[in-house]
Structure 1
Amino acid sequence: MVVKTTANDVATENRTCVVLGGRGFLGRSLVARLLRLGGWIVRVADSSSHSLLTDPSLASDSLLSNALCSGQASFCHVDVRDTSQIIKVTKGADVVFYMEPTDLDIHDFYNCYLIIVQGAKNVIYACRECRVRRLVYNSSADVVFDGSRDILDGDFSFICPGKFKDTLIDLKFHAEGLIRLANNIDGLLTCVLRPSNVFGPCDTQFVPLLVNLAKAGLSKFIIGSGENMSDFTYAENVAHAHICAAETLGSRVVSVAGKAFFITNLEPIMFWEFVSLILGGLGYPRPYIKVPTWMVSCIVSLHQCSHENLHNHNVSPHYMLRLASRTRTFDCSAAQNHLGYSPVISLKDGINSTIQSFSHLANDTFYTKFNEQSKAEKMLGGGIVADILLWRDERRTFACFFVLVLLFCWFFLCGRTFASSLADLLLLVIVTLYGHGILSSKLCGYAVQEIPSSCFQVTVSDVQKSLRSIACIWNRGVRRITTLAKGEDWCEFFKVVFSLYLIKYMQSYSLAVPFAMALVYAFTAYFVYDQYEAEIDAFRLLMFCCMVELKEFLWRYLPLPISSSLQNDNVLHQPKVAARVKEWK
C-alpha cells in the first residue's frame, strides 16, 4: 500500500507530533513543512536553549512564530539525556520525529554516547510509557559506508560494516539498531530513514566547510580522479520523507515498520561537480587540480599527529576524505514503493536555494581578479621584457630568441676564448655600422633608414633606474649576510647553503651549460607560469603545507632544547609564512 502526503489528506484533523531536535538543521525544515501542510499541532523540542530564539529573516522561523501565536505550535526545552523531560513533552502525541543533534564534539565520546545511544534508549522508553504509536528516526546513509569500497546503488539489503572509525557514525549505527529493535513493542511502530549527504539552507556543516576551505585556498583541489558519483538530498525532501513515513506507519503497513529506507534526491551527480556548483555559485574558484588521495591522506595524518591537542572539528577529516574520493549512490526505490516518497524539490532548485541562503558567505572579489596583471607579468616589470618573455609578440620574441642563440653559439660553441669572441663581435659591429653609414640613401630601389643618434644614448633616468636596481640587489645581499651573521633564520641559512652547493656543482661543467639552461628557462618558464599560474601556485601551496606539517611532526621527536629553539624561530617567522600562503591563494 502506498500512501502519499498531501495537504488535503492531512488537513482533515489535527494530530499532535513532537519534533525532537526541532531547532537543528533538519528539524527546522521538518517543522516548517508540517506547519505548511496544516492539520498538525507541532511540539518543537530542543536542547539548544531554554527559550525559543527565532530569526525573522528566515521564512521557516517566521512561519513558526505565527504558529506559536495561533497555538498550532509550542516550544519546550528537552535534554534527551533526561527521560522525565522527554516523557513530559511526548504525552498525548501521536508521532515522534527524532532528529538528534549533529553539532557534537567527536572527541568527547562520553557525551556523544549519552546523547546518541542513551538518548535513543530514553526516547524509546518515553514513547512506550506515553503510548506513542509512531516513532520516525532520522539516521544517515553513513551507517553503511566505511570508506573501504565504493557503493553503487546500495539498497535496503546492503550489509552494514558494523564497525566505523568515525565516532558519530558508529554511535548512530547503534542508535538506529535500538530504534528498529523497539518496533512492535507495547504497540510502538518505528521507522528509520537514511538520507544521503543532506544540504540546504541553515546547513551548519557541509556548505560552511566548503567555504572555509575556499577561503584557505584549498578549493582548487580535486581529491582522487574526480569521477566518483554521490547522492545528495535537499533538506526539505528529507522532511517530506519523514512525513511520508509517519503517514505510512499510521496505516499499519507491515512492510514499513521496523525497516530502514535510503532517502535521496534521485539525481546522482559527480561529487566534485556538486562542489563546483556550490562554490561557483558563491563566487569561489571551482576545483580543477587533481591530487592523489594518498598524498592528502598523508598530510591529514601528519596534521593530526602534530596537532593532537587542537581538535576542534565535529567531522573526522579522514571520513571527509573518503567521502570525497569514493562513489556512494543508493537505490531509493524502496522508499518510493513503500513510503510513497518522491522528491518535492529538484536538485537544481535545491542548489540554487542553498546558494541564495548563503549569500552572506559569497566571495565578491573573485571575478575582479581576472582584470589584474598576472604574477609572471608583475615579476618581469610589465614592460617590453614581459611582452617578449611571455610571447605576447611572437615575431619580436622569436627574433630576440634567435639573436640570443646566435650570441650563445658565438661565445661558447665557436672554440675561441671569451675575449677573442668579444673582440670579433665588436669588430663585426663596427664594420656593420660603418658600412651602413656609407651606403647610399637608396639601394636597389629601397630606402636605407639612417640610425638615429638616440639609439646610442643612455638617458639619465635609465642610468638611475639601473643604479637603483643594483643598489637594491646589493642591499638585499647585505641583509641576508646580516641575518646569517645573527643566526636568526634557519630557512635562509639552508637556502644559501643550497645555492652555494648548486653553484659549485655547476662550476664543474662548462659555462655553456648554465647559460644554455638560463636561456631556455627565460623563454619557457615565465610563459608556462603565466599560462598555468593557478595550478602551479596551488601545487606550491600543497607542497608548502606538507613541508610545514612534516616539520612540526619531526619537532615532536627532537630533543627539548633544539625543538624549543626551532619553535621560537618559527614563532618569529609566522607573519612571513602567513604572507606567503596569502600570496599563493
Structure 2
Amino acid sequence: MEDRFTELNPKTCVVLGGRGFLGRSLVLRLLKLGNWIVRVADSAHSLQLDHSDSDSLLAQALSSSRASYFHLDLRDKHRILKVLEGSSVVFYMDVDALNANDFYSCYKLIVQGAKNVISACRECRVKRLIYNSSADVVFDGLHDIRYGNESLAYPWKMDNVLSDLKAQAEALILSVNDIDGLLTCALRPSNVFGPGDSDFIPCFLKLARYGFTKFIIGTGDNLSDFTFSENVTHAHICAEEALNFRTVSVAGKAFFITNLEPMNFWEFLSLLLEGLGYPRPFIKLPANLVQYFLSVLRWLHEKLRPRYFSYPLLVHFFQLATHTRTFNCTAAQKNIGYSPLVSLEEGITLTIGSFSNLAKDSSFSSCCDSTEQTKADKMLGGGKVANVLLWRDEKTSFTYFLVLVLLFHWFFLSGRSFISSAARLLLVATLLLYGYCLLPSKLFNFSIPRIPTSSFEISDTTMKGLVATLVYQWNKGFQNIRRLGRGNDWSTFFKVAVVLYFLKLILSVSKLLTTLIGIGLVFSFMAFFVYEQYESEIDGLVDVLFAQLKEFMTYLVRILPVSKSRHLHYHQE
C-alpha cells in the first residue's frame, strides 16, 4: 500500500484551519484522493480525535505519515514558516472561535493572519494558495443581489465586521498573485451548511429552542443560494488543479460557489426545522418592527458591550432573512471545472441526520397535545381555576368570563353603590329561585329538574372549619389591636398604617379601582393562556431582559462615583 502511495508522487499541502467545519471536510477528501501528504494546522494545542469516519481515516494517515498535525497561531509568523516549509499548496480555510464583539482579536486573526500567511508562502516558495472566502464580502446588508457575478465590487461600508475583515484578507491574497511564483485564488461559497457545522445551522437551532423561528421576518419571499460543505471542499480541489496548469483565467481571481439551486430562504429554514422536530415559521413580523428592535440592541451593544448575545450575529441573520442573495457560478463552472457533487435536497437530509442529537423531543403538534403539566398550569395550582383560565373547555371558560364581566358591570359600571348593587343582585337571585320552583315538572315536553335541598346545605365539618377560621382571624386581629394599643410594636404599626393608607387611596379613587379590576379580569383570562402557548418565547425574552438589566446595573456601578457604586453594589447583593 505504501509502495503504491509512493508511486503516485504525492504532493504536500497544508490545510490551515484543518480542524474547523470546512477544514475537516477538506482533509477527509484529500486523504481519500490518495495522492496528498496533508499537514493539518489549527489553533488547538493537541489533536483530539473522535470516532467519526473523518477522524478514523486521519488516524490511519497519521500512523502512516501521510498526515501530520501542527499547532498554529496565525499571529505567529515564525510558527507559520515552520509549518509551510517544504509544501507546495496551502488551503487557507476559515478561522474558528472568533468573537465578533472583539474587533482587535478578529483583525489580528483574519487580516494580520492573512498577511503572515502570504509572507510565509513567499518565503517558503509555496506554489499555490487557495483562500476560502465568502459571498458575504460583496453584500452590504442593504441591497438585494440577484444572480450576482464576480464583477461585483466590495461595498464601501459593511455592518458585518467579520465580512469586512474577510474582504480585506481576500483582497490581500488576490493582490499578491504571481509574486515570487505564488499563484492565488479565492472561493466565495454562499451560506455553507452541512454535518459538523458550528455556525450557520446551530444559530437557527438556538433560535428555535427559544421559539423565535416561528416568526417570518418581512414578506418571506426572498431567495438565497446555499452550498453544501462537501461541494465547497470539492471546489477547492478543482481550484488547485486549475492553478496547477497556471490557467490565466483562474490565478488572481475570485469565484462564487453555490449548489446552483436557489430557493426561498424561509423554505430552506422550514425544511431543516421540520426535519429536527421544530415548527415551520408561520407568523409574519414586519421587517421595520424587527429593525427597530435591533436598533435598541445596537444601543445596548455600544453602551454596555454585553457578553450574553452577539449583536453582529443577530444583524447578519436579519440581513440574510430579509434580502434576496443569489449568485452566478458560471465562472467557476467554466474556469475551474466546478459542479456540485451533492444536491441541495440530499445535503439537507444529510445535515438533518447529523444534527439528530439536537432535535426536539417531539413535534409541534404532539407538543400541543402533551399531557405534561405546563408552567402556567403549575402556577395556577393545576385545579379547576387553572382549567378555566387556560381555556381547557372553551364553553366553560367563556361562561365564567361572561358571568364575571356581568358582575363587574353590575357592581362597578352601573353607577350604583356597592351595597345597593348587592341588594339588587340578591333580590334578582331570590326572584329567579322562587320562579324556578313554581315551574311545572314538564314544560313543552321538556323535563325541568328540581334543585335538591342538599345544594343549599352546608355540612357540619365545613361549618366548623369556617367558624374556626373566623374565630382564629378575629383573635389574631384582636391581638394586633392590643399590640397597637400598648404602643411598643412599631413594625406592626407601620404595616397596618401602610395597608390602611393604600386601601383609603384606592377607595378614594373609584375610577382607578374600577380600571384596575377591569384590567385584572381581562388579564387573568388572557395572560396565562398566552403564556402557555408561547412559553419558550416569553421565557427567552425574560432571560434576555434580566441579562440586560444585570449588564445595565454593572454599567451604572462602573460609571457612578465610588461611594454611590459601593452602595448600589451592596443592594445588588
**Bin for the TM-score computed over the shorter chain:** 0.7 to 0.9
Residues in 1 aligned to 2:544 and 2:508: alpha-carbon distance in whole angstroms: 30
Q: CA RMSD in A?
A: 4.6
Residues in 1 aligned to 2:157 and 2:211: alpha-carbon distance in whole angstroms: 34
Residues in 2 aligned to 1:392 and 1:247: alpha-carbon distance in whole angstroms: 66
Alignment of 1:445-456 (within 5 A): 446-456=446-456
Give 2:40's aligned amino acid.
A
1:509 aligns with 2:503: no
Give the counterpart of 1:352 among 349, 353, 357.
349
Give the counterpart of 1:35 among 22, 31, 35.
31
Mark the CA change 1:518 to 1:278 in structure 2 (over 3 Å): closer, same or farther: same
After TM superposition, the structure 1 stretch with the greater mean CA deviation from structure 2, 66-75 or 434-443, is 434-443
Alignment of 1:334-345 (within 5 A): 334-345=331-342
User: What's 1:489 paired with?
Assistant: none
Alignment of 1:380-529 (within 5 A): 380-388=380-388, 392-393=392-393, 395-396=395-396, 400=400, 403=403, 407=407, 417-437=417-437, 441=441, 446-458=446-458, 460=461, 504=506, 507-509=509-511
Maintained 8 Å contact 1:105/1:314: no
How much has 1:84 moved relative to structure 2?
A: 5.8
How much has 1:34 moved relative to structure 2?
A: 1.7
How much has 1:87 moved relative to structure 2?
A: 5.1
User: What's 1:19 paired with?
Assistant: 14
User: What's 1:95 paired with?
Assistant: 89
TM-score (ref. length: structure 2): 0.76
Alignment of 1:109-124 (within 5 A): 112-113=106-107, 115-124=109-118
How much has 1:249 moved relative to structure 2?
A: 1.7
Give 2:136's aligned amino acid.
D
Residues in 2 aligned to 1:126 and 1:534: alpha-carbon distance in whole angstroms: 50
Give 1:196's aligned amino acid.
S
Maintained 8 Å contact 2:294/2:315: no
Maintained 8 Å contact 1:31/1:42: no
How much has 1:182 moved relative to structure 2?
A: 2.1
Residues in 2 aligned to 1:323 and 1:292: alpha-carbon distance in whole angstroms: 13
How much has 1:59 moved relative to structure 2?
A: 0.9
Maintained 8 Å contact 1:299/1:549: no
Q: Percent identity?
A: 51
Maintained 8 Å contact 1:299/1:546: no
Maintained 8 Å contact 2:74/2:113: yes
1:259 aligns with 2:253: yes
Mark the CA change 1:501 to 1:343 in structure 2 (over 3 Å): closer, same or farther: farther
User: What's 1:583 paired with?
Assistant: none
After TM superposition, the structure 1 stretch with the greater mean CA deviation from structure 2, 449-458 or 167-176, is 167-176
Mark the CA change 1:349 to 1:426 in structure 2 (over 3 Å): closer, same or farther: same
Residues in 2 aligned to 1:528 and 1:549: alpha-carbon distance in whole angstroms: 28
User: What's 1:45 paired with?
Assistant: 40
Residues in 1 aligned to 2:410 and 2:74: alpha-carbon distance in whole angstroms: 86
Q: How many residues end up aligned between the 2 structures?
A: 537
How much has 1:159 moved relative to structure 2?
A: 0.9
User: What's 2:291 paired with?
Assistant: 293
Maintained 8 Å contact 2:210/2:537: no
Residues in 2 aligned to 1:456 and 1:511: alpha-carbon distance in whole angstroms: 33
How much has 1:277 moved relative to structure 2?
A: 4.3
Give 1:134's aligned amino acid.
R
User: What's 2:485 paired with?
Assistant: none
How much has 1:153 moved relative to structure 2?
A: 2.6
CA deviation vs aligned residue, 1:138-174 (integer Å, no higher than 9, x gap): 1222322342433333210111025556554444333
Maintained 8 Å contact 2:212/2:537: no
How much has 1:544 moved relative to structure 2?
A: 5.8
SS in 1 for 2:511: coil
Give 2:260's aligned amino acid.
L
Mark the CA change 1:193 to 1:551 in structure 2 (over 3 Å): closer, same or farther: same
Mark the CA change 1:179 to 1:510 in structure 2 (over 3 Å): closer, same or farther: closer
How much has 1:336 moved relative to structure 2?
A: 1.6
User: What's 1:305 paired with?
Assistant: 303
Residues in 1 aligned to 2:147 and 2:175: alpha-carbon distance in whole angstroms: 26
1:330 aligns with 2:332: no
Residues in 1 aligned to 2:161 and 2:147: alpha-carbon distance in whole angstroms: 25
Residues in 1 aligned to 2:466 and 2:298: alpha-carbon distance in whole angstroms: 48
Q: 5+ residue gaps in structure 1?
A: 1-9, 479-484, 487-495, 572-585
CA deviation vs aligned residue, 1:160-219 (integer Å, no higher than 9, x gap): 025556554444333322321222234432211112232223333334444455556665
Residues in 1 aligned to 2:457 and 2:118: alpha-carbon distance in whole angstroms: 94
CA deviation vs aligned residue, 1:350-404 (integer Å, no higher than 9, x gap): 2333333334444437867531345555555555555555555555555555655
How much has 1:93 moved relative to structure 2?
A: 4.1
Mark the CA change 1:551 to 1:320 in structure 2 (over 3 Å): closer, same or farther: farther
User: What's 1:188 paired with?
Assistant: 182
How much has 1:13 moved relative to structure 2?
A: 4.2
SS in 1 for 2:178: coil
How much has 1:256 moved relative to structure 2?
A: 1.3
Give 1:302's aligned amino acid.
L
Residues in 1 aligned to 2:113 and 2:270: alpha-carbon distance in whole angstroms: 37
Maintained 8 Å contact 1:300/1:318: no
Maintained 8 Å contact 2:14/2:87: no
Mark the CA change 1:369 to 1:142 in structure 2 (over 3 Å): closer, same or farther: same
